Structure 1
Amino acid sequence: MVKFEEMTFENIMELMLNSVSDELDKREGSLIWNALSPAASQVALLYTWLENAIDLVFYDTAPDEYLERAAAPYGVLRKQAAPAVRLIKGMDDNRNVIEIPTGSRFFIETENVYFKVIPSTNTQQLVECEVAGIVGNSAFSKDTILSLDNIYGLAQVEITDIVIPGSDIEELEAFRSRFFAKIQKDAFSGNKAHYKIWAEEVSGVGKAKIYPLGYGDGTVKIVITDAELQPASDILVQKVSNYINPISQIGEGTAPIGAKVFVESAVWKTIEISGQLSLKEGKSVNDVIEEITPDINKLFKSITFPENEVTSVKLAVISNIIFSAPSVLDNFNIKLNGEAANIILGENEVPKLGAFSFALI
Structure 2
Amino acid sequence: MSDSRAVIQARLLSNISDEYNKSEGEFMYDAEKPVAIELENAYTEIEGVLDKRFAETATGKDLDKVVKDIGLTRKLTTQSIGKVTITGVVGSPINKGELVASDSVSFEFTETLVVPESGIIDVSVKCVKYGEVGNIPVGAIKYFPKTLSGLQKVINKEAISNGYNEETDEELRKRYYAKIQTPATSGNKYHYRNWALEVTGVGDARVVPLWNGNGTVKVVIINSNKTGADKTLVDSVKNYIDPVDGMGEGQAPIGATVTVVSAIEKAINITANVSITNGFNLGIIQTTFKTLVLEHLQSISFNASYISIAKIGKILLSTEGVMDYSDLKINGATSNINLADEEIAVMGNVNLGVM
TM-score bracket relative to the smaller structure: 0.7 to 0.9
CA contact (8 A) 1:164 1:226 kept: no
In the alignment, is residue 201 of structure 1 matched against residue 216 of structure 2? no
- After TM superposition, give the deviation of residue 164 of structure 1 in Å: 3.5
Mapping of 1:1-361 within 5 angstroms? 5-6=2-3, 8-17=4-13, 27-30=23-26, 33-92=29-88, 100-106=94-100, 110=104, 114-118=106-110, 125-137=123-135, 142=141, 146-147=145-146, 151-158=148-155, 161-275=158-272, 286=283, 289-306=286-303, 310-325=304-319, 330-356=324-350
Q: Which amino acid letter does the alignment assign opposite residue 71 of structure 1? A: V
Q: Which amino acid letter does the alignment assign opposite residue 345 of structure 2? A: P
SS at match of 1:182: helix
Unaligned runs of 5+ in 1: none
Cα pair distance change 1:40/1:108, threshold 3 Å: farther
Cα pair distance change 1:35/1:213, threshold 3 Å: same
Q: Which amino acid letter does the alignment assign opposite residue 234 of structure 1? A: K
Q: Which amino acid letter does the alignment assign opposite residue 183 of structure 1? A: I
Q: Which amino acid letter does the alignment assign opposite residue 145 of structure 2? A: L
CA contact (8 A) 1:272 1:356 kept: yes
**Alpha-carbon distance in structure 2 between the residues aligned to 1:276 and 1:292:** 13
Cα pair distance change 1:22/1:73, threshold 3 Å: closer
- After TM superposition, give the deviation of residue 354 of structure 1 in Å: 3.2
SS at match of 1:146: coil
- After TM superposition, give the deviation of residue 236 of structure 1 in Å: 1.0
Q: Which amino acid letter does the alignment assign opposite residue 299 of structure 1? A: H
- After TM superposition, give the deviation of residue 283 of structure 1 in Å: 7.8
Cα pair distance change 1:99/1:301, threshold 3 Å: farther
Q: Which amino acid letter does the alignment assign opposite residue 117 of structure 1? A: F
CA contact (8 A) 1:89 1:159 kept: yes
- After TM superposition, give the deviation of residue 54 of structure 1 in Å: 2.1
CA contact (8 A) 1:85 1:162 kept: no
Q: Which amino acid letter does the alignment assign opposite residue 220 of structure 1? A: V
**Alpha-carbon distance in structure 2 between the residues aligned to 1:106 and 1:223:** 34
**Alpha-carbon distance in structure 2 between the residues aligned to 1:254 and 1:143:** 41
- After TM superposition, give the deviation of residue 324 of structure 1 in Å: 4.8
- After TM superposition, give the deviation of residue 338 of structure 1 in Å: 2.7
CA contact (8 A) 1:223 1:263 kept: yes
- After TM superposition, give the deviation of residue 24 of structure 1 in Å: 6.4
RMSD (Å), alpha carbons:
3.6
TM-score, reference length from structure 2: 0.81
- Tell me the percent identity: 32
CA contact (8 A) 1:164 1:236 kept: no
CA contact (8 A) 2:274 2:354 kept: yes
Q: Which amino acid letter does the alignment assign opposite residue 107 of structure 2? A: F
Q: Which amino acid letter does the alignment assign opposite residue 265 of structure 1? A: S
- After TM superposition, give the deviation of residue 285 of structure 1 in Å: 6.3
- After TM superposition, give the deviation of residue 166 of structure 1 in Å: 2.3
Cα pair distance change 1:145/1:16, threshold 3 Å: farther
Aligned to 2:117: none
Cα pair distance change 1:5/1:268, threshold 3 Å: same
Unaligned runs of 5+ in 2: 113-120
